[in-house]
A and B are shown apart, each in its own frame.
Chain A
């Protein structure tokens, strides 16, 4: 069941699901600026602002730990 790995090209031969998964090709790389329709700067900025808001809200929540919970 152990797949055999060829040191030269990292190709995997052998039967079974593990050999099949290890044969996976991940494709090619391309900078996102070169994409067919890059994400608009304002959309990216809006989502990044949402992320900062999450961070801010949590910092504020962490500062409020005053109450007693005795059940």
Chain B
């Protein structure tokens, strides 16, 4: 039952938490026999942040709900309201995030809420969300979340929407609605008959991503060498991963280690934006397939980039007597590899803060590079802190995946460049820097 004053300007505009939690739930999830797990989880996250205030923006016209509404609900005889209400969560003056509430069976629409404190440092896929209620401006970094409405969109649509919206906010990709996802999946004909969506087949999921400009790299978990390292490479790069389990599609958005070992942070439209999960290879929760939607111009998979980087780095380590100890250390397996994709301009901008030495910084900044590059760091296994990198090598992410091309590298005492059109690399000696800072966060130590 939708409240009679839904989306009117006269609604109650403020709630205190936790005191008025039940009132809030009573308004937005009025039927106790049809609870909203997503709404409950959302409020749990807010309370974990000690959120104490909820402001209501009403009416609120939402881009995504309007797309659902105009493509499906408006065709019904007695459609639900066409407007939403938006909840703005605060802890004191601190903005925690927002939730667009839809007047539908599953009310949680577009939502961005700061990751809960216990998981925040493990979430690698967050994007800035800006809201401007009443002429004010607030920003929060969060994973974009939406629950399926169970009619126009299902779990697959919600997961695709979240990944697409993330890339829009993070990498300036196009802003896509659920309607665009339905169309890109090639399933418009179903919803044109004003019938419920039955979900998407995996090939339709892949088609939808491709149609939205995010072609996918597929992985079969049971048949992927170094699965943990494979996943960590993408998450280190801030690239979310679509995960299929029997009948369900969710998104991996981070990882970390606890007393039980490696875990992943997953956005699940049936529960919430941030939940802890682990690799499962059999049974009802088995991981069936992984799809990594790539922003345009990343053609080389992370594993291929790392393998080629290891070869090129080893070749350069044998170049001179100065670099020979690095080759010996490689042969003795004293290094671990940490690989991530990054926008080359962002990579170059961050170089001076890492203690590489000015000659290396200027060299890497000068060498031409593709927009997206893969970086493999060669780190000493026996160094626990952030200052543990011996050298690194950049791979052109736009090159042929069967023959990834190096761009530039540094190892102690030497910098190397592979210029377009040149058949052999150029190199010069630079002052030796033994160890310098990793570009990855402390939690992103990955697996290998």
Contact = CB atoms under 8 A, between A and B. Distances in A.
A43 B220 CA distance: 27
A1 interface: no
A31 B424 CA distance: 6
A54 B381 CA distance: 25
Contacts of A54: 225, 301, 303-304, 307
Nearest to B199: A70
Interface in A19-71: 20-32, 35-39, 43-44, 47-48, 50-55, 57-58, 60-62, 64-71
A43 B270 CA distance: 48
Given A30-B427, A58-B217, 12 more contacts: A27-B429, A29-B424, A30-B319, A32-B424, A37-B318, A37-B327, A39-B314, A48-B311, A55-B304, A55-B401, A62-B218, A71-B156
B387 interface: no
A67 B324 CA distance: 51
B366 A26 contact: yes
B284 interface: no
A38 B366 CA distance: 27
7 contacts: A24-B365, A26-B367, A35-B315, A43-B311, A61-B289, A70-B200, A71-B155
A30 B417 CA distance: 12
A55 to B, nearest CB: 6
A64 B219 CA distance: 10
A67 to B, nearest CB: 5
3 nearest A-B residue pairs (beta carbon):
A71-B155, A27-B428, A70-B199
A34 B324 CA distance: 14
Interface residues of A, number: 41
Interface stretch (B11-19, B47-55, B111-119, B202-210): B202-210
A54 to B, nearest CB: 5
Interface of B: 148, 154-156, 158, 197-203, 205-206, 217-220, 223-225, 244, 246-249, 269-270, 288-289, 301, 303-304, 307-308, 310-311, 314-315, 318-321, 323-324, 327, 362-363, 365-367, 401-402, 404, 415, 417, 419, 422, 424-429
B155 A70 contact: yes
B336 to A, nearest CB: 16
**Interface majority SS (helix, strand, loop, mixed), chain B:** mixed
A35 B205 CA distance: 49
B362 A24 contact: yes
Contact of A36 (B244, B246, B304, B319): B319
Given A22-B366, A70-B198, A29 B426 contact: yes
Contact of B248 (A22, A35, A55, A71): A71
Contacts of A47: 307-308, 310-311
Contacts of B422: 29
B225 A32 contact: no
A65 B201 contact: yes
Contact of A70 (B206, B247, B323): B247
B318 A70 contact: no
Given A20-B362, A55-B401, A67 B288 contact: yes
B318 A38 contact: yes
Contacts of A20: 362
Contacts of B158: 71
B199 A69 contact: yes
Nearest to A35: B319
Contacts of A53: 225
A21 B59 CA distance: 53
Given A24-B363, A70-B199, A70-B247, A57 B415 contact: no
A52 B424 CA distance: 24
A12 B139 CA distance: 42
B444 to A, nearest CB: 22
A60 B203 contact: no
Nearest to A48: B311
A39 B328 CA distance: 11
A61 B220 contact: yes
A71 B269 contact: yes
A68 B201 contact: yes
A58 B353 CA distance: 37
A66 B365 CA distance: 45
Contact of A51 (B202, B269, B402): B402
A35 B401 contact: no
A64 B220 contact: yes
A20 B320 CA distance: 27
